[in-house]
Chain A
């Protein structure tokens, strides 16, 4: 059979070409399968983390008239609900205690009534600090406000004026107080609520016995806390919609008698935006890699045209029809495609094991995933197209003169005459500027709409930039070759000697071949550079982000607004490894009816222990902002969001209400608004104020600080551990190092775990750049075996050929790498800007991964040099098969 003989002949005689195309297909398939599976695994991972991190999935608030047992029955019978428990929230007008010989009284608070099984069903709500785990449990902050302890007797004031006395059995912390005390049913922007300072948790029976006698209106509310069964889909968006729909279903069933505080949906909402960003990254960073792998495979497939045409002519001579010849090409492609795709899937399995944590990618999951199937199909298509398409093209043109290798003075290509390179770059600039003008809103999530989407038009900016830069590189390379003869000659003369002008002329006439090689190298190296720079910037920024969240290398934080022990600063200063520290005040301040965080700092010294980045301020640098703060005692920096919400403009006076130590009441305090701040160490992401700690301490009569920010000399974790031993575990004080924060952020919900993806991409970029340099040079030389054979036949020596070949190699390598680096840098710049949403805050500047780039440069050069040296070695033997044709 002709087909079988043809294939076995190919395997014997054209092994190199078949193997290299198979490797190209395998790389494409492997990369696509690994990447796709990574993203689907990552997004289901995000969903699971979101669901797991909710302390209570739903808080169903019952209307005042509805009894707890009636509400509980309905909620418990709702499909998908695994556990439902009633929780009572009773109002407390004041707490007081005659402890340690003095009488302490606090402001208002809450008394929770919980069933006995609550802590087992919702273990994330309470942390037991000291004493019993059941009975009367007093919140840590209330304990310290009242100077109470286990065994103390406290009085709580009830609505209506009566009092009851309770004996404290245990002291607890409420880690999820924000969601536990949320105002259910009100958009959080309208009713932001600080959790109550004072809380006591009682067994349900005790709570009822106290509150059944309280007649005042709005004395208490009842919520049903729900844990959902494992019913939500694994895609974050679908899970989000499902969680919403289920909650709506319950609300509808209860005919307005209940409102659902949907904690799990809120967390899934964040996760689904993260998942969208993950998809964005996939498109921005992954797809170009796949495209490149396909491109290189295509270049390999199109190579060796002379030989292929000769073989085809032979086949035709022996009577094979044109269709049969094309069929043979397709068969060749199919065979290579199947082998390459299988290898690719195996590769993806291996890469998955190496790059991603086991939980992300399981072999069985990968094999069954749709991604693997589509990658496999892509591999087949790529192979068939790369191998059969040139055959098809040749079969049409075979009768026309033998294919001449891109020589002479070719007509300028259509794109060059239409200036499509400049058009593409111009359009890229327009898309980018448009995107910049709406603040790089890549993910559009209209308020109140359950599904958010990615604005796909922004992809055009990097894509067009890439295409435009590639075409422009071609134009430039071509122009240098056709018009820059003088310069080229001067550069080549030392190596080429008397052959200089011949070498220059030869390069000029082969400018299509050389420009193509240069552009391929430029494209691959720009991909590698942009990926590496982007990833380095991302991981550097994760550290900045962790630094902002944590505040400094190590942060010591008091619970709530209790003060840190006043001698703690001195104690900590003495801990080995502590370089410097800054105390920070943390209070709450009313702006209008809204309670926001207020931080007091010393603007002159804070930079000693805290790394401040310019990008957290708007319109001013970090030193300028701190200088403005120091310029007057009542100066204040206002968060972007607060300034926007309350239409505050810098330079004006603003009035906040702060709690004074003397009477525990809030009083108006004037501040002078000096600047806008977007983020600040330890501050929340949205609304807050930064003022001078001296001023805050003076006006409130309370000099205590709540946070210590510490700069360390060495690695932060051991210093944090040493400091931990100096603080009482009962105090509720937390000591946290930036490394703990970093790992929390990276594995947490708010960040996409890029490390596996990064390794995968960097590896691929590395392989592609190395392969491109080798392939471009080796193929360029193969195309000119004839030229070299003639040159050798008329007397050229190895050194003569070497001067030709090296001139071209240096041109392609230096031009490709140089233009690729510039383009890659620009691409990284554009990507970083467009993906501002991924960075929080956006980076001040790009980070340079020196090690990787050096390795990349070396491997590219080595691969190019190896290709040149091996080709040159091959020309040393007269090429007899070529000479036969002479």
Chain B
């Protein structure tokens, strides 16, 4: 990535801005602060890794960033995108940690869904989905049902789907957790290509330091405390 892009983008408004954003989960005795008040910005084209132990709060933080949940205190804003209701699928794509395909829909229907939600015609959405699946080398699976494919395959379909709305920010929560390393790197390569092609920012949660090291910015989280050690 040419440096100037990143530098230049630092002068723009951030895509996501968190100020003292915290998140409590649970009720009653189980109530606990899962994400301590955190300050962060994600700028256009920025590529961030988020590492931390299991249970440290990675997924919870990503949910805040992608607008799936609201902070208990502090604020999370999307200066370039507008309100929380307008984020997905136009601006933010999400690839989940667990199985996330819609069970009643086939693979190609799952992948086409973001475009359909944007009001694209069925024909266009379907052909775009097929192209995307081809890109991820998943063409053979296009007419299968989620229950007929493996966990790793389903995760890759999820990644393909997350890029369908041509988002400005891709939030990926251990997107290759269920794949072998070779496949994982293949998927990451394709993700890299696609996000770079489109100037799409990327935040990816990962255990694997090799994956983290592919990114430019590194965030770590420990027991809910976010630390940012930029490259």
A interface residue numbers (CB < 8 A to B): 404-405, 407-408, 497-502, 505-507, 509-510, 786-787, 790-791, 793-797, 800, 878, 880, 883-886
Q: Could you show 30 A-B contacts with beta carbons less than 8 Å apart?
A: A404-B147, A407-B103, A408-B148, A497-B119, A498-B121, A498-B122, A499-B116, A505-B104, A506-B102, A506-B105, A509-B103, A509-B104, A509-B105, A510-B104, A787-B104, A793-B68, A793-B94, A793-B100, A794-B89, A795-B89, A796-B117, A800-B117, A880-B63, A880-B68, A880-B69, A883-B63, A883-B69, A884-B59, A885-B98, A886-B99
What CA separation (Å) do A885 and B101 show in the bound complex? Answer: 12
Interface digits, B116-132 against A, CB 8 Å rule (1 contact, 0 not)?
11111110010000000
Stretch at the interface among B37-45, B106-114, B222-230: B106-114
A349 to B135, CA, bound (A): 70
A510 to B96, alpha carbons, bound, how many Å? Answer: 24
Interface contacts beyond A506-B104, A507-B104, A883-B63: sample of 9 additional A-B pairs, CB < 8 Å, sorted by A: A407-B104, A407-B145, A502-B112, A506-B105, A796-B113, A797-B85, A800-B117, A878-B69, A885-B98
**Residue in B closest to A409 when the chains form the complex, CB atoms:** B145
A497, A502, A794, A884 — most chain B CB neighbours (10 Å): A794
A26 to B199, CA, bound (A): 63
Q: In the assembled complex, how far is the CB of residue A808 from the closest CB belonging to chain B, in whole angstroms?
A: 11
A149-B143 Cα distance, complex, nearest whole Å? 104
Task: Find chain B residues with CB under 8 A from A507 CB.
Answer: 104
Q: How far is the CA of A797 from the CA of B145 in the complex (A)?
A: 24
A502-B113, A885-B98 known; A793-B104 Cβ under 8 A: no
Size of the B side of the interface (Cβ < 8 Å), in residues, is 42
Tell me if B161 counts as interface (CB < 8 A to partner A). yes
Instruction: Say yes or no: A404-B103 contact (C-beta < 8 A), given A509-B145, A795-B89, A886-B97.
Output: yes
Q: Is A408 a contact partner of B69 (Cβ separation < 8 A)?
A: no
Measured CB to CB, the nearest residue on chain B to A511 is B104
Q: A795–B166 Cα gap in the complex (Å)? A: 13
Q: A499-B116, A883-B63 are in contact. Are A787 and B106 (CB under 8 A)?
A: no
In the complex, chain A residues whose CB is within 8 Å of the CB of B119: 497-498
- A797 is contacted by which of B98, B99, B117, B121 (Cβ under 8 Å)? B117
In the bound complex, CA of A408 to CA of B148 (Å): 9
B165 CB-CB contact with A under 8 Å? yes
Q: Is A794 touching B104 in the complex (CB atoms < 8 A)?
A: no
Residue B90 interfacial (CB < 8 Å): yes
Query: How far apart sit A405 and B96, CA to CA, in the bound complex (Å)?
Result: 21
Give CA–CA (A242, B217) in the complex, Å: 99
Q: List, in ascending order, chain A residues with CB within 8 A of B89's CB.
A: 794-795
**Does the CB pair A405–B109 fall under 8 Å?**
no
Question: Do the beta carbons of B117 and A500 come within 8 Å of each other?
Answer: no
Given the contacts A790-B100, A794-B89, A878-B68, A502 and B147 also touching, CB distance less than 8 Å: no
Complex Cα gap A408–B104 (Å): 7
Chain B residues near A502 (CB, 8 Å)? 105, 109, 112-113, 116
B218 proximal to A (CB < 8 A):
no
CB-CB under 8 A from B100, the residues of chain A are 790, 793, 886
Chain A, Cβ-Cβ closest to B59 = A884
Inter-chain contacts of A510 with B (CB < 8 A): 104
In angstroms, Cα B102 to Cα A794, docked, is: 11
- In the assembled complex, the Cα of A505 lies from the Cα of B109 at a distance in Å of 9
Is the beta-carbon distance between A407 and B147 smaller than 8 angstroms? yes
B88 x A790 contact (CB < 8 A)? no
Instruction: Scan residues 149-208 of chain B and give those whose CB is less than 8 A from a CB of chain A.
Output: 161-162, 165, 173
- Cα-based distance from A506 to B59 in the complex (angstroms): 29
Chain B residues within 8 Å of A884, by CB: 59
Which partner residue on chain A sits nearest B68 by CB separation?
A878
Whether A794 lies near B103 (C-beta < 8 A) is no
Decide: A498 and B147 in contact? CB cutoff 8 A.
no
Q: Which residues of A contact B118 (CB under 8 A)?
A: 795
Contact B94 A794 (CB under 8 A): yes
> In the complex, what residues of B have CB within 8 A of residue A407's CB?
103-104, 145, 147
Which residues from 57 to 83 on chain B have a C-beta closer than 8 Å to any C-beta of chain A? 59, 63, 68-69
Tell me which residues across on chain A come within 8 A of B122, comparing CB atoms: 498, 500-501
Q: How far is the CB of B162 from chain A (nearest CB, A)?
A: 8
Q: For the complex, what is the distance from the CA of A358 to the CA of B182, rounded to whole Å?
A: 82
Rounded to whole Å, the gap between the CB of B54 and the closest CB of chain A is 13
B147 and A795 contact, CB distance less than 8 A: no
The 6 A-B residue pairs with the shortest CB-CB distance, nearest first, are A795-B89, A795-B88, A886-B96, A506-B104, A509-B104, A886-B100
The answer to whether B116 and A795 have CB atoms under 8 Å apart is no
Q: CA–CA, A794 to B119, complex, Å?
A: 14
Residues of chain B within 8 A of A878, CB atoms compared: 68-69
Nearest neighbor of A508 in chain B, beta-carbon distance: B104
Q: What is the distance, in angstroms, from B7's C-beta to the closest C-beta of chain A? A: 31
A residues near B161, Cβ cutoff 8 Å: 794
Minimum CB–CB distance for A15 against chain B, Å: 15
Minimum CB–CB distance for B133 against chain A, Å: 16
How far does the alpha carbon of A794 sit from the alpha carbon of B109 in the complex, in Å? Answer: 13
Who on chain B is nearest to A878 by CB? B68
Residue of B nearest to A787 (CB): B102
* Cβ–Cβ < 8 Å partners of A506 in chain B: 102, 104-105
Q: Which residues of B contact A497 (CB under 8 A)?
A: 119
Contact of A791 among B25, B102, B112 (CB under 8 A): B102
Alpha-carbon distance between A461 and B102 when the two chains are bound, in angstroms? 44
User: Closest Cβ of chain A: how far from B228's Cβ, in Å?
Assistant: 25
User: Given the interface contacts A404-B147, A498-B125, A509-B145, does A793 sit within 8 Å of B88 by beta carbon?
Assistant: yes
Q: Which residue of A lies closest to B89 (CB)?
A: A795
Contacts of A883 in B (CB 8 A): 63, 68-69
- In the complex, chain A residues whose CB is within 8 Å of the CB of B88: 793-795
Q: How far is the CA of A885 from the CA of B117 in the complex (A)?
A: 23
Complex Cα distance, B146 from A407, in Å, reads: 10
Tell me which residues across on chain A come within 8 A of B87, comparing CB atoms: 795
Complex contacts, A501 vs chain B, CB 8 Å? 109, 122
A498→B114 CA distance, assembly (Å): 11
In Å, the complex CA distance between A884 and B116 comes to 25
- The listed residue (A498, A787, A885) touching B116 by CB distance below 8 A is A498
* Residues of chain B contacted by A786 (CB below 8 angstroms): 103
A505 with B105: in contact, given A408-B147, A794-B89, A794-B161 (CB under 8 Å)? yes
Q: Give the residues in chain B near A404, CB-CB below 8 Å.
A: 103, 147
Q: Which residue of A lies closest to B60 (CB)?
A: A884
Quick one: which of B97, B103, B121, B147 contacts A787, CB cutoff 8 A?
B103
The distance in angstroms between the C-alpha atoms of A500 and B121, with both chains bound, is 10
Task: Give complex CA distance A505, B108 in Å.
Answer: 12
Chain B, residue nearest A881 (CB) = B25
Nearest to B119 among chain A residues (CB) is: A498
* Inter-subunit contact B68/A794 (CB<8 Å): no
Which of chain B's residues have a CB closer than 8 A to the CB of A797?
A: 85, 117
User: Is B113 touching A794 in the complex (CB atoms < 8 A)?
Assistant: yes
State A790–B100 Cα separation when bound (angstroms): 6
Task: Tell me the minimal C-beta distance from B197 to chain A in angstroms.
Answer: 21
- Nearest-neighbour CB distance to chain A for B152, whole angstroms, equals 16
A498 and B87 alpha carbons, distance in the complex (Å): 20
Q: Can you name the residue of chain A whose Cβ is closest to the Cβ of B126?
A: A501
A497 to B121, CA, bound (A): 9
| A505-B109, A509-B145, A878-B69 given; A794·B114 CB < 8 A | yes
Bound CA–CA A391/B198 (angstroms): 51
Q: Contact at A794–B147, with CB atoms within 8 Å?
A: no
Closest-CB distance, A478 to chain B (whole angstroms)? 15
Q: Contacts A498-B120, A499-B116, A505-B106 hold; do A886 and B69 have CB atoms under 8 A apart? A: no
Most chain-A Cβ atoms within 10 A of its Cβ — which of B104, B118, B121, B122?
B104
Contacts of B85 in A (CB 8 A): 797
Bound together, the chains give a CA A800 to CA B119 distance in angstroms of 10
Give Cα A883 to B68, complex, Å: 9
Q: Within the assembled complex, what's the spacing in Å between the Cα atoms of A467 and B25? A: 49
Set of chain B residues within 8 Å of A795, measured between Cβ atoms: 87-90, 114, 117-118, 165
CB contacts (< 8 Å) of A794 on chain B: these are 88-89, 93-94, 113-114, 117, 161-162
Rounded to whole angstroms, the CA-CA distance of A405 and B173 in the bound complex is 26
Enumerate chain B residues within 8 angstroms of A405, measured Cβ to Cβ: 103
